[in-house]
Amino acid sequence: KLSMPLEKVRKVLKIAKEPVSLETPIGDEEDSHLGDFIEDKNAVLPI
């Protein structure tokens, strides 16, 4: 059970349904984008 009001849960669920651009700025400086935090499973790991 969440200790969160039902209305807030509904709002979060509604927001999660809306499409979001990978270019959406993240953080106060807006120097990062949402897409920067998505893992590229095909990337070669540095050795």
Q: Global pTM?
A: 0.47
pLDDT tens-digit map of 5-32: 889 888 888 877 878 899 999 888 878 9
Give pLDDT, residue 1: 65
Position 2 confidence tier, pLDDT thresholds 50, 70, 90 = low
Residue 23 in contact with residue 33, Cβ under 8 Å? Answer: yes
Closest CA to 19 of 6, 7, 4, 34: 34
Give pLDDT, residue 9: 87
